[in-house]
């Protein structure tokens, strides 16, 4: 079948997901994109731009759209003959943490809510995100001054599903070999932005350095136009430890650094799946992750005690232990790497293709079954 994929923020994990889905699916998926900038204007105006760009919609069996656009506007512009629509949520503005000094803009959360409400089917990339979003929807509806439409959250839940995103590494086994003699390599491969809390990461590394524990440091991940102060300070503070500073120019070089890595650390306060962590673990890094967000459901439960930390002090203690005994954890790294196999697009695509099949089979639905307040 033929699908149209509208991606209004074609960068980072959105770009990886769109390319992985279109390249892996057994269906014909045509990708129409906008550059990954001006996210507020994308959410407000992408519907009008896509209305110009998409052409004749009758040629498609279904449409896929992500959370960074106003789907209800697009559907209104498209008219009654629109094919069934799947909304995919990478993140949502009801749960996204706001930078210090920036006020919350509730309008964008409303856009996400109406997008989920008018879509025929909704997919979230983790149960953590889905439950958080639906909880916030109920909270938002409850704060309306009168005539609260309590059916909204229940309607969205009735057509929502969790499907983990694929990652662009092969399902076949990865050979894990560690460099002997060199200090262990700690990897940061997240965006250089506030919600990943780089200050907490570098503070932990400072504690490790104070203890005299040797390590090397690879600062990868998607950068920004202005390098954050935390990274500028870290470049000086850890100048003896840093072996790479900045975005890897190719996926091959990126995976090569991950393959050299021993430990990947996250200090994020916002993470709905964690593609960068899954990639690093697949390539042989042992993760140290906060015991919250999506990490507990993405990582194998039987290993939570070793790889999830409970606070800043626990992070430092666990990191110190890994660094001091890194050579004895190679088999554990192989075990965790194998556990990431289901997240390969080679494996994940089966669920997405089945979902697209169901989207077309079930067709368009009414905007929402109106539950009574008693329900």
Model confidence, pTM: 0.93
Strand partners for 371:
none
- The three-state (H, E, C) secondary structure of 104-143, written as one string: CCHHHHHHHHHHHHHCCEEEECCHHHHHHHHHHHHHHHHC
Residue 125 to residue 123: CA distance in whole angstroms: 7
Q: Pick the closest to residue 302 from 268, 262, 338 (CA basis).
A: 338
Q: How many CB atoms lie within 10 A of CB 361?
A: 8
H/E stretch holding 330 reads helix 330-339
SS3 letters for 145-184?
A: CCCCCCHHHHHHHHCEEECCCCECCCCCCCCCCCCCCCCC
pLDDT of residue 364: 85
Spell out the per-residue pLDDT of the chain, length 375, in tens: 999 999 999 998 999 999 999 999 999 999 999 999 999 999 999 999 999 999 899 999 999 999 999 999 999 999 988 999 999 999 999 999 877 666 667 899 999 999 999 999 999 999 999 999 999 999 999 999 999 999 999 999 999 999 999 998 878 878 887 777 789 999 999 999 989 999 999 999 999 999 999 999 999 987 677 788 999 999 999 999 999 999 888 989 999 999 999 999 999 999 999 999 999 999 999 999 999 999 999 999 999 999 999 999 999 999 999 999 988 899 999 999 999 999 999 999 999 999 999 999 999 876 555 444 444
**Is 116 within 8 Å of 87 (Cβ atoms)?**
yes
Collapsing DSSP states into helix, strand and coil, what is residue 308?
Answer: strand
29 near 64, Cβ under 8 Å? yes
CA distance 31 to 25: 12
Whether the domain at 2-166+345-362 and the domain at 185-343 fall into the same CATH topology: yes
Tens of pLDDT, residue by residue over 226-238, are 788 999 999 999 9
pLDDT score, position 221:
83
Q: Structural domain boundaries of the chain? A: 2-166+345-362, 185-343
Contact, 373 vs 153, CB < 8 A? Answer: no
Contact by Cβ (8 Å): 84, 62:
yes
pLDDT digits (tens, 9 = 90+) for 121-130: 999 999 999 9
> Could you give the CA distance from residue 241 to residue 263 in angstroms, rounded to a whole number?
14
pLDDT of residue 226: 79
| Fold of the domain built from segment(s) 2-166+345-362 | Rossmann fold (3.40.50)
CATH topology of domain 185-343: Rossmann fold (3.40.50)
Give me the pLDDT at residue 366, please.
Answer: 60
Residues facing 286 on adjacent strands: 263
Residue labelled with tokens 């439950």: 131
Structure tokens at 372: 């009574």
The Cα–Cα gap between 134 and 118 comes to 15
Number of Cβ within 10 Å of residue 181's Cβ equals 4
Residues sharing a CB contact under 8 Å with residue 198, sequence separation 6 or more, in sequence order: 188, 192, 228, 230, 231, 234, 267
- The candidate with the shortest Cα–Cα distance to 346, out of 163, 168, 174, 124, is 168
């Amino acid at each position: 079948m033929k699908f149209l994929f509208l991606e209004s923020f074609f960068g980072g994990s959105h770009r990886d997901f769109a390319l992985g889905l279109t390249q892996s699916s057994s269906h014909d998926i045509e990708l129409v994109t906008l550059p990954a900038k001006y996210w507020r204007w994308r959410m407000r105006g992408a519907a009008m731009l896509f209305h110009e760009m998409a052409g004749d919609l009758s040629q498609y069996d279904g449409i896929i759209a992500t959370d960074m656009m106003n789907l209800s506007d697009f559907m209104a512009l498209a008219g009654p003959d629109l094919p069934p629509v799947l909304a995919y949520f990478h993140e949502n503005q009801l749960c996204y943490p706001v930078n210090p000094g920036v006020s919350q803009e509730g309008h964008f959360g409303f856009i996400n809510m109406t997008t989920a409400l008018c879509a025929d089917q909704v997919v979230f990339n983790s149960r953590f995100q889905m439950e958080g979003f639906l909880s916030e929807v109920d909270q938002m509806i409850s704060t309306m001054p009168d005539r609260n439409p309590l059916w909204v959250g229940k309607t969205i839940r009735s057509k929502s599903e969790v499907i983990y995103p694929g990652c662009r590494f092969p399902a076949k086994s990865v050979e894990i070999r560690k460099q002997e003699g060199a200090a262990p390599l700690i990897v940061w491969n997240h965006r250089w932005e506030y919600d990943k809390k780089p200050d907490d990461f570098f503070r932990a590394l400072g504690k490790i350095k104070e203890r005299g524990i040797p390590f090397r440091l690879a600062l990868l991940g998607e950068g920004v136009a202005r390098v954050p102060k935390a990274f500028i300070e870290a470049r000086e503070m850890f100048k003896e430890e840093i072996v790479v500073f900045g975005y890897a120019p190719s996926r091959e070089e990126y995976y090569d650094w991950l393959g050299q890595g021993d430990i990947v650390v996250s200090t994020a306060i916002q993470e709905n799946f964690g593609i960068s962590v899954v990639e690093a673990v697949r390539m042989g890094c042992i993760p140290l992750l906060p015991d919250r967000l999506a990490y507990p459901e993405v990582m194998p439960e039987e290993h939570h005690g070793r790889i999830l930390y409970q606070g800043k002090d626990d992070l430092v203690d666990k990191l110190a232990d890994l660094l001091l005994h890194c050579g004895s954890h190679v088999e554990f790294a192989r075990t965790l790497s194998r556990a990431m196999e289901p997240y390969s697009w080679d494996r994940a695509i089966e669920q997405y293709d089945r979902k697209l099949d169901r989207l077309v089979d079930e067709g368009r639905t009414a905007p929402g079954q109106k539950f009574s307040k008693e329900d």
